[in-house]
Amino acid sequence: MRVCPQCSSQFLGAVERCPIDGTTLVEQVDGLIGRVIGGRYRVQARVAEGGMASIYKARQEQLERTVAVKVLSRMLSEDPIHKERFLREARAANRIHHENVIDVTDFGETEDGLVYLVMEYLEGESLAEVVTRGPVTLSRAVEILHPVCLGLQRAHELGILHRDIKPENIFLVRRQDGGEGVKLLDFGLAQILGDKRLTTAGQVFGTPEYLSPEQATGAEVTARSDLYALGVVFYEMMTGRLPFTGSTARLIYQHLHELPKPPSQVRPDVPAEVDELVLRLLRKEPEERFASAREFDEALAACERRLASKRQAGQASTIRTAAGDVLRFPADTADKLACRLAEARARWEKAGPRRDARIGRDLERLEASIEALRRVQGDLERADRELREFLEHGRGTLDRLRRAVGELAQDEARARREIEGLRTALARAHAESQEAEGEFAQARAQLARLQRDDPGGVGTAIAFETAGKAARRWREAVAERESIERDLAAKNVELEEVRFQLGQFRGRIAALEVDATKAGEGGAAGDAGFYRRRVQDAQRMVAIQVDEAAKLVDSIERRLAGVS
């Protein structure tokens, strides 16, 4: 945080001079570090800073434990509405008192009017850090979302709406035993049903990327509004990207009017069952979403079980070969040969002293041959199953990839159009900022001249006000230009990502089409050829073992018939 020593204005970021009076900004010393708050908490370091509050690591001296202290900024501490909202966060979290919601243990006000609350100190990382590294598996998503749903359900049962569900507010706690816990954080925008409203009708609160349609319009929010935001989080976990992007105005429009792409069109290996869950959470009408966090949690768990069951069933099933028209034998061939072996052995043993030792040795050979047949039949079933799974997976992936390419091509065209519009807007904003900068330079020069010639005059006061207005207009113009520059940069990145994905998907489609064509022709291409050769080799081994066992049992039975 930097401050202007002349007018006391505060600035975040890399601003070096005050745009109002040109004074060099100075770093604001954090007077809380080393201080004891509430007579109990010695502040050790600032660990996070935002526009509304800062979070400090502190030591509760009497209990000798580390805690986190969240302190509302001085300016907001003087505002009754923000002060009440901050204290409501403490009351909301304390009322929930759930293992998956951060524990708030104390709150109060310092002697100089700063409002603070004390929380458990957590070590680990936020879900935002996890999704930055890319999408997660369904099982990992369930591990994280299940405890989130438990905490959210508890809050909703107590009439508390979070209203700011996002990855930054979901924390993965690293426990001392090496395990992991999940905590829902930051009830700073929470609404406690039945309490006095702190917002007027039509006010919008929340993070634009995660706003439900009803929040985006300032309408009444319910527990299903939190579930919409959780749907955005779920989408981001499964795909590594948000369903909607752009400026705040653009985001609100999309939340209200546009349908998100199914996750499987962004990441083709996402199952259709997961698409259904995510898209139900992201329905525009609240009554079309899940009724509660518990209902979604149960549906998510059931979805994971069904998918796991399908995988197991696929691994255990015996299927007709996909390797071509090669001789097949009934599944009970080995069992029938074993029955003939048992009958022949019984007849041979009844022969008593007249038993032929050579037939006894052949019976042992037949038994070994039947066991070998069972083994190669098992090899054939495994090879057969793996080939079919490979081909079916390839066909399903091919269809999903083709759909994804169609969607991405539309995205590419739309991104190009939006980039052209942003370039036009940027040129206009650049001209306006230059014009505003020129007006500010003139007003500042006029103010400097009057301060020199008539320091206490009315003209000087008017010039100071004019310079202030010009500075504000310049700041606003620069902010608008920078906002457009950020949107343009983000849109260019998005376009590059779309083109990169298109290239990858088209390459995968080409490879899969070659495999599919060769598989249909009975040829051997790539991985399909490898699986096909395994099946054919196993079939030949089965044929050899069947032939050997059949000839041996026929010979034994003929000789036993001659003996009797």
Residues 407 and 461 placed together within one structural domain of the fold: yes
Residues 110 and 170 placed together within one structural domain of the fold: no
Residue 11 falls within a domain, yes or no? no
Residues 309 and 342 placed together within one structural domain of the fold: no
Residue owning tokens 């074993």: 338
Q: Which of 257, 258, 493, 506 is nearest to 404 (CA)?
A: 506
Residue 325 has pLDDT above 50, yes or no: no
Per-residue confidence (pLDDT) for residue 238, from 0 to 100: 94
Structure-derived torsion over alpha carbons of residues 165, 167, 171, 172, reported in degrees to the nearest 10: 130
Under the banding of pLDDT at 50, 70 and 90, the label for residue 209 is very high
Q: Which residue range forms the structural domain that includes residue 343?
A: 334-551
Residue owning tokens 């998907």: 505
Residue 429 falls within a domain, yes or no? yes
Fill in the DSSP letter of residue 522.
T
Could you tell me the CATH number of the domain that includes residue 283? 1.10.510.10
pLDDT (tens digit, 9 = 90+) per residue, 235-254? 999 999 999 988 888 889 89
Residues 512 and 377 placed together within one structural domain of the fold: yes
The structural domain count of the chain equals 3
Residue 393 has pLDDT above 90, yes or no: no
Average pLDDT over residues 422-437: 87
Q: Centre a 10 Å sphere on the Cβ of residue 383 and count the other Cβ atoms it contains.
A: 21
Residues 152 and 223 placed together within one structural domain of the fold: yes
Residues 365 and 514 placed together within one structural domain of the fold: yes
What's the CA gap between 116 and 110, in Å, rounded?
8
Q: Which of 287, 147, 277 is nearest to 212 (CA)?
A: 287
Residue 18 falls within a domain, yes or no? no
Residues 205 and 278 placed together within one structural domain of the fold: yes
What type of residue sits at position 538?
Answer: A
Residue 206 falls within a domain, yes or no? yes
pLDDT (tens digit, 9 = 90+) per residue, 293-304? 999 999 999 998
Per-residue confidence (pLDDT) for residue 324, from 0 to 100: 42
Residue 403 falls within a domain, yes or no? yes
Residue 524 has pLDDT above 50, yes or no: no
What type of residue sits at position 87?
Answer: L
Active site residue 454: no
What's the CA gap between 36 and 48, in Å, rounded?
19
Which of the following is catalytic: 164, 186, 362, 411?
A: 164
Question: Could you tell me which residue, 192 or 355, shows the higher pLDDT?
Answer: 355
What's the CA gap between 69 and 435, in Å, rounded?
45
pLDDT (tens digit, 9 = 90+) per residue, 266-289? 888 889 899 999 999 999 999 999
Residue 320 has pLDDT above 60, yes or no: no
Q: Which of 120, 144, 169 is the last residue of a domain?
A: 120
Residue 25 falls within a domain, yes or no? no
Per-residue confidence (pLDDT) for residue 93, from 0 to 100: 78
The distance from CA 539 to its chain's CA centroid, rounded to whole angstroms, is 45
The predicted model scores a pTM of 0.55
Residue 88 has pLDDT above 50, yes or no: yes
Under the banding of pLDDT at 50, 70 and 90, the label for residue 201 is very low
What type of residue sits at position 112?
Answer: D
Residues 129 and 105 placed together within one structural domain of the fold: no
